[in-house]
Structure 1
């Protein structure tokens, strides 16, 4: 599938919202900042529209409000640790999830009072100790060994750690035995999921047999307080699928707790909300999800339900802006060589898509474009044919000096990129809309 873009004249002042042919928007604030940055020589740059993010988060919270106070939201910091974005996110969520000692220190330095959960595999003794001393509220425990280590460290410091056992159970078994029809137990309900992790060999979480063994150790662990279950079984789900899976996870968790005689206070059903880079205008339906989750939350009464979105929160509020350095035709195909590349924006290479984009005519571009009405592949400056940002994008007109603004670059973008390859300069970071 190709991504389309159109060429527009460079504005001398902020202009109305710009849309690429894909429907991916470039906000007025972003367009103005990109145009100014081009004049100042400040491209490539990431542009984060914090006003856009705040409005998006407001819509998310409005949709989730239908489910009542027993549904809370943690945001996964790994999606984007940018300080400005996190400050906005923290005002709209119930806490943040960190997955390393580095993220823990980063967030505590920025937001010392925000509630935290600590997840991720391979937590070291030093990281667990730092988390205990930092007052982390929830530990998502990945293995029996980690559980025992956390118990030992907690007792050494006179602390009781509240834990959720992260479990990885087969999707076909989810909800079986719940007795109330809450869980469908149908893996087919996740058709089209971008990533399915439930029931497959994985370094994440515990399979049912291992989780049973961990539960058996709990009575002997004085530094541990069991609060519930964490499960992240699939990604790329639409609202109905997400809510169905949440109900299934809750049903499995209730059965698990009952079988082991454990109180079930809380279940974290993960994230996995769909973000489709080939359809940038098709946002996850938070209103429908909130309506469906209201029934799920009511069914499980006093159990607190937590969701943990990441990409679906910040992806749409970030843009990667650059300029065309060279434009050439090779064996019948057009290539636009852009400043920067996948060492700044690895998302399209990692996920195998074309990043949605818009082309803005640059002040330094020639009056006559080099390429008109042809598909163009946008590449970067790296010495590898894999440095592709978007393939075969139909453009009305394109010339050296034009600006290219890639949308949906607010999550799993610069922070996952191999930024030191070839030692090119880092992109600027430009916050707007505040």
Structure 2
């Protein structure tokens, strides 16, 4: 959408719904899905990780078959995310349920609602899944998440090759499989779980295509070796993601022009029958699919100078956009740049909360601003409200509006209130 059209739309929506306000462009979501599928080998599966943004309109667009791209499956890690999948009109049968701390209660709820594919991270996790599925009288499948011993990529957020709560350490798989197979052979052991593949997630958010290709090659080689040496069945192989889009700053989605060709070559070597679905290859992505769709609109409430430093105070703080800042993944944000010839200044962009930690950007470049001005923080479609400190100080959650071709599709707000006794 052209910038001038964006500004008009944003001003209209801010006037109608107030700020802080998230605006999600569903056309961008559909475009991101098509872009990513075009970068991956034909015929593979792609799971949308709801942790990035569980808004039902976004989930629905990604789950639908569309021009140039089939629908995505859904990767979920809670019954709340499963509820969002169902609210979007999608089936629980299309979910991959992941996470290292699944409880018996949530597994029971997921299985009751129709989830049949899980990723497990420990022997305890497999046994708990088996117990719940057996009690429900159904069979389920699990992928063993693998924490590989080695890594290839040298950039981005590392998700493998170190001690972790995620996955089975690859060097321990012989003992793990022996234990699980003993369970399966024992009449009192595994009764309702079929181990049908492996799940890897080695890295996140890489802009370097060579690193991404190298990591995927490394993962495929390790998966093939583990399957061969340990006679581990591979009906499914999920090799994760790592696709990048800027977070809270201007810029476009990363392009991966060589990725499809490189992946097809690697798959042909390691899994010669993959084109026939043996194994079924899957990828997953959250931020790449949703991140570029979102703009956070905030209103300047005050501008002040303290001991020579300027502070621009807005009605959006870390309770609105900033839950990831404690992990070092947010600061600094950047607002949409000033127009050509417009003056800029350096100031700290802060929120309304009563804590010095409520900082969205420290000493960043901003247009000259005054109380009442509207700010737009781009690429805020992933890790927004649901990754923020929504309960802190009891301030209202931001409104979320979805649009297609400039028309409002829905408007909603998360509620976090307690009724007085």
Give the TM-score, by structure 2 length. Answer: 0.84
1:176 corresponds to which residue?
Answer: none
Matches within 5 A, 1:395-410: 395-410=366-381
Is the contact between residue 213 and residue 259 of structure 2 (CA under 8 Å) also seen in structure 1? yes
Q: Is the 8 A contact 2:47 2:75 kept in 1?
A: yes
CA–CA distance in structure 1, aligned partners of residues 119 and 176 of structure 2: 13
Question: Does 1:191 pair with 2:191?
Answer: no
Partner SS, residue 363 of structure 2: strand
Partner of 2:402: 431
Q: Which has the higher contact order (CA 8 A, sep 6+)?
A: 1
Preserved CA contact (<8 Å) 1:240 1:292: no
What secondary structure is seen at the aligned counterpart in 2 of 1:246?
Answer: helix
**1:181-212: CA deviation from partner (whole Å, max 9, x where unpaired):** xxxxxx4x41222x213221111111124433
- Post-superposition offset of 1:153: 2.1
2:118 is paired with a residue whose SS is strand
Match for residue 379 of structure 1? 350
Residue in 2 aligned with 1:49? 25
Which deviations, in whole Å up to 9, do the C-alpha atoms of 1:216-274 show, x marking residues without a partner?
21343231212111111222323332232222222212222222223222211112223
Which residue in the other structure is 1:17 paired with? 2
1:225 to 1:159, Cα distance in 2 relative to 1, 3 A: same
Alignment deviations for residues 87-127 of structure 1 (CA, whole Å, 9 cap, x no partner):
11112433100101221233123334261100011111121
Matches within 5 A, 1:245-324: 245-277=215-247, 280-299=250-269, 300-301=271-272, 302=274, 303-324=279-300
The answer to whether the 8 A contact 1:359-1:405 is kept is no
Task: Label 1:385 to 1:372 Cα distance change in 2 as closer, same or farther (>3 A).
Answer: farther
SS in 2 for 1:405: strand
- Whole-angstrom distance in 1 between the partners of 2:365 and 2:216: 40
The 1:160/1:107 distance shift into structure 2, 3 A limit, reads same
Q: Matched residue pairs, number? A: 381
Given the alignment, which residue of 358, 364, 389 partners 1:393?
Answer: 364
List runs of 5+ in structure 2 lacking aligned partners. Answer: 65-69, 406-421
- Give 1:63 shift: 2.5
Correspondences of 1:409-420 after superposition (within 5 Å): 409-420=380-391
Task: Judge conservation of contact 1:49–1:431 (CA < 8 Å) in 2.
Answer: yes
Partners of 1:323 and 1:339 within 8 A in 2? yes
Q: Is the counterpart of residue 89 in structure 1 residue 58 in structure 2? A: no
- The alignment's C-alpha RMSD in Å is 2.3
TM-score normalised over the length of structure 1 = 0.82
Q: Provide closer, same or farther for how the CA distance between residues 34 and 279 of structure 1 changes in structure 2, counting only shifts above 3 A.
A: closer
Q: Distance in 2 between matches of 1:372 and 1:398?
A: 10
Distance 1:86 1:405, change over 3 A: same
Distance 1:41 1:113 in 2: 32
Q: Does 1:154 align with 2:117?
A: no
CA distance in 1, matches of 2:304, 2:46: 48
